[in-house]
Amino acid sequence: MGDRSAIEWTQATWNPVTGCTKVSPGCAYCYAEAFTLRFKRGGRFIPGHTTIKTHADRLEMPLKWRRPRLIFVNSMSDLFHEEVPDSFIIETFQIMKQASHHVFQVLTKRHTRMAELAPKLPLPDNVWMGVSVENQHWVEQRIPELKKVPAKVRFLSCEPLLKALDLTRYLDGIHWVIVGGESGPKARPIHADWVRRIRDDSVAAGVPFFFKQWGGRTSKARGRILEGRTWSDMPLKPPSPPTQHRPVGHQSVSLAEPAASSLASEQPMAQV
């Protein structure tokens, strides 16, 4: 956790909650679980074994970061985990509202709880809401629930991409699509045809498309070039970050207006 991140589609991470429980096939080889076990910060993310910890002392951290940045919320957990109290989730969103100079990216696999809590949450324009969809079953389960959330930006993380996805009926009301292959010693394969289809569907729908990685034994093993270029489109212009962390390919638009996919972006993005 900190004010720098090597994750290509964000600039920083913030973890007011740690620990998790595996809920779908994308969780099988969870990097957060591996990190937790490696550094002896908790146990395995298995059902019936509580690993969730809320960290009230971390809540105000974004308020102390003066330079605006994109912040991935709970890269090591899921904010909408059933063991996280409603009051703590609401307090976390209140901090995001106060820290209006940042943009917060909230990604969850707990789609039902997210949709149920949404009416109680402050959802300012600087809070983006997303769901993970690793196969068609979770496309059909999670995306309709995401669309119930009145966020300025709603996004999909198709990572790890485990099967071919048909998103054609689901992209209306979605503002960003991220795709990535799995990484790690047990990484499951990703097929180029799966990636191209999601790219083509996104472009046809005018939804910005971000290809994060092919994956492999490490996240950088096979790079992130798709058909001779990187795809680093963003839904809105992010806060001005340091040069080495600026996502290439974003639209130069106001934070107030969603952007169409930037098809002219052909520069390779530096690996960080």
213: which 2 tokens? Answer: 């990685």
- Is residue 264 in some structural domain? no
For 135-178, the pLDDT digits (tens) are 999 999 999 999 999 999 999 999 999 999 999 999 999 999 99
Q: Is 27 helix (H, G, I), strand (E, B) or coil?
A: helix
- The whole domain housing 65 covers 12-245
- Is residue 236 in some structural domain? yes
What pLDDT does residue 200 have? 98
Alpha helices in 104-191 (DSSP H): 111-117, 136-146
- Is residue 254 in some structural domain? no
How far apart CA 105 and CA 128 sit, in angstroms, is 5
Percent of the chain at pLDDT exceeding 70? 83
The structure's pTM equals: 0.85
DSSP 45-99: --TT----EE-GGGTTHHHH--S--EEEETTTB-TT-TTS-HHHHHHHHHHHHH-
Alpha helices in the chain (DSSP H): 31-38, 61-64, 86-98, 111-117, 136-146, 192-205
C-alpha distances (whole Å) from 241 to each of 103, 135, 219, 248 are 12, 33, 23, 12
Question: What integer is the mean pLDDT of 51-58?
Answer: 95
- Is residue 160 in some structural domain? yes
For 188-204, the pLDDT digits (tens) are 999 999 999 999 999 99
Q: Which residues pair with 176 in a beta bridge?
A: 155
Q: How many domains does the chain have?
A: 1
Domain at 237, CATH number: 3.20.20
- Is residue 4 in some structural domain? no
- Is residue 271 in some structural domain? no
Question: What integer is the mean pLDDT of 45-70?
Answer: 90
Contacts of 234 (CB under 8 A, 6+ apart): 9, 176, 208, 210, 247, 249, 250, 251, 259, 262
- Is residue 252 in some structural domain? no
How far apart CA 167 and CA 110 sit, in angstroms, is 20
- Is residue 223 in some structural domain? yes
Q: Are the C-beta atoms of residues 204 and 170 closer than 8 Å to each other?
A: no
